[in-house]
Amino acid sequence: MLLISLLVACAVFGLGLATGQVVQTELEESVVQELLQCINLLPTGYRVYVDVDGNVVVIPAGQRAIDLTGIDKGLLKCMQQVLGEMTVLAESSEFEDPSHQSALATGSADFAFLLANGAKGQRIQPGLDAGADAIINTTALVDRSEHRLTKRCAGYYGAYLDIYTGCSNADYVTQYFGGCINYMSSYASVFFWNPDTCNDMLTTIWPHHDCGQGNQVSFLVGVSSNSICYTRTTYSYTASPVSR
């Protein structure tokens, strides 16, 4: 009981839970050039647009699902190249979406296009408590602290889920890698925490139940860091570690 109390205290006051907090910054032209050059060398064609959060979103040139472990694995490597400098999302395009109407072929897109459409850069601010901006379940904190005491190459991750936009009143849950996490009701905004010091984390969210039916969007969370808050209708999601 004493150990659990100490773990809760450490969690509440941020001890042992320090992590990198991703914050949005001004977009840098050199980072955009690095991303676009990488994508344009791939054999698969893509388009790009900027979402409501200022994230750069890459979609297939044709109407198909995104697959970062298969045909789109080259895109995943490009996303890893700029991780920590800008947020890049990979989104499926098999169904019509009004936001895709503004998308431009990556061969024609440039820094000016992304900047004019509100794209942001990012940086990782070290040393912040993983739960500084969220309402966190105490039981989950105990579980998270116990895992941090035993291993750093974690087999788990944290999800912050809010029924409102902005992630300001998010509920925190821990999950193990692999498998679909499904909810009956949707969330309006989400962000994720990767405690792993060994691997980046690939997360995919769906606006449908059971991690299916299309329209999924995937993004990376760097080692020992949080993602930004995503304004995305979310019913289900998955997460898995990916090496560099």
From CA 71, how far away is CA 2, in angstroms rounded? 51
Q: Exposed (0-12), middle (13-18) or buried (19+): which is 58, by Cβ within 10 Å? A: buried
pLDDT number for residue 62: 93
Q: Kindly list the domain boundaries of the chain, sorted by start residue.
A: 24-122, 133-242
**Tokens describing residue 199:** 């691997």
Residue 163: pLDDT band (50, 70, 90) is very high
Q: Is the dihedral of CA 151, 129, 178, 56 positive or negative?
A: negative
User: What is residue 48's predicted lDDT score, i.e. its pLDDT?
Assistant: 98
Query: What average pLDDT does the segment 37-44 reach?
Result: 97
Per-residue pLDDT band for 23 (boundaries 50, 70, 90) equals: confident
Strands 121-129 and 200-206 come out as: unpaired
Cβ–Cβ under 8 Å, residues 10 and 17: yes
Residue 143 clears pLDDT 70, i.e. is over it: no
Structure confidence at residue 11 (pLDDT)? 36
Which tokens sit at 67? 């697959």
More confident residue, 105 or 214: 105
**Torsion sign over Cα 216, 222, 223, 229:** negative
CB burial of residue 97 (10 Å; 0-12, 13-18, 19+):
middle
- What per-residue confidence (pLDDT) applies to 115? 97
On the question of pLDDT at 142 being above 50, the answer is: no
Mean pLDDT of 189-193: 96
pLDDT at 152: 65
Mean confidence (pLDDT) of the chain: 84
- With CA atoms as reference, report the closest residue to 79 among 66, 71, 89: 89
Q: Does residue 110 sit in helix, strand or coil? A: coil
Query: For the residues 195-202, what does the mean pLDDT come to?
Result: 94
- Least confidently predicted of 6-15, 59-68, 72-81, 225-234: 6-15
pLDDT per residue over 41-97, tens digit each? 999 999 999 999 999 999 999 999 999 999 999 999 999 999 999 999 999 999 888
Smallest CA-to-CA distance from 153 within 201, 120, 186, 110 is with 201
| Domain 24-122: CATH architecture, name and number where available | 2-Layer Sandwich (3.30)
pLDDT of 21 reads 75
Strand pairing class (46-50; 104-105): antiparallel
pLDDT exceeding 90 applies to what percent of the chain?
70
CATH number of 133-242: 2.60.20
189-219 in b/e burial notation, b at 16+ Cβ within 10 A?
bbbbbbbbeebbbbbbbbebeebeeebbbbb
